[in-house]
Amino acid sequence: MQKLKSFFFICLVLVAGFNLYRAYTQAINQLQDRTSIPLHSLGFQFMGLENVFKGVRTVGYYTDKDLSNSLAIAQFEQAQYMLAPTVLDLNPSTQYHWVIVDCTSLQAAKEAIQRMGLTPLKFNHGIILAFNPHGV
C-alpha cells in the first residue's frame, strides 16, 4: 500500500507540474496573440447607442439572421450587454420608438425598414438605428 501511495504521489507531482507548464504556455500564447477574441468585438459596433437610449426601458431589435447560428445570437447578446439597462426586444412588432435593424444585407434591411414603416437615422457597421414615429 505504501508503494502505491508513493507512486500516486509521483503521479500527483507530474500532473501538477504538467498543469503549471500548460497554464504558463497558454498564458504566453495569449500574450503573443491579441487577435483570438472574436466574440468580444461583436458588441463594439453598438457602442454609442446607449447615449441615444438614455432613459428608454425597451427598444426593438430586428434581425433576419438565423438565430440558431451561435454567432448571430452572440451578436444579439453582446448588443444587449452593451446597451443594458435598456431591454432589447428581439424581432418585435412595431410598438417601440427605437428599433435596431441588423440584417444579412443592406437590401434586406431596407425592405424590413420599409415594411415596418420606420425612418432610418443612423448607420454603423451594417447596423441601422431606425425611428418608429408610431411607437410608444
Residues that bind other proteins (CB under 8 A): 1, 4-5, 8, 11-13, 15-20, 22-24, 26-28, 30-31, 34, 37, 39-40, 43, 57-58, 73-74, 77-78, 80-81, 84-85, 87-90
Q: Which amino acid is at 25?
A: T
15/106 with CB nearer other proteins: 15
Q: How far is the CB of 134 from other proteins (least distance, A)?
A: 21
Sheet with 98-102, strands from edge to edge, namely 87-90, 58-63, 98-102, 127-131, 119-124
Q: How far is the CB of 107 from other proteins (least distance, A)?
A: 28
Q: How far is the CB of 51 from other proteins (least distance, A)?
A: 13
DSSP E strand stretches across the chain: 58-63, 87-90, 98-102, 119-124, 127-131
Q: Is the dihedral of CA 42, 63, 103, 123 positive or negative?
A: negative
25/105 with CB nearer other proteins: 25
Q: How far is the CB of 110 from other proteins (least distance, A)?
A: 26
**CA angle 50-98-107, nearest 5°?**
105
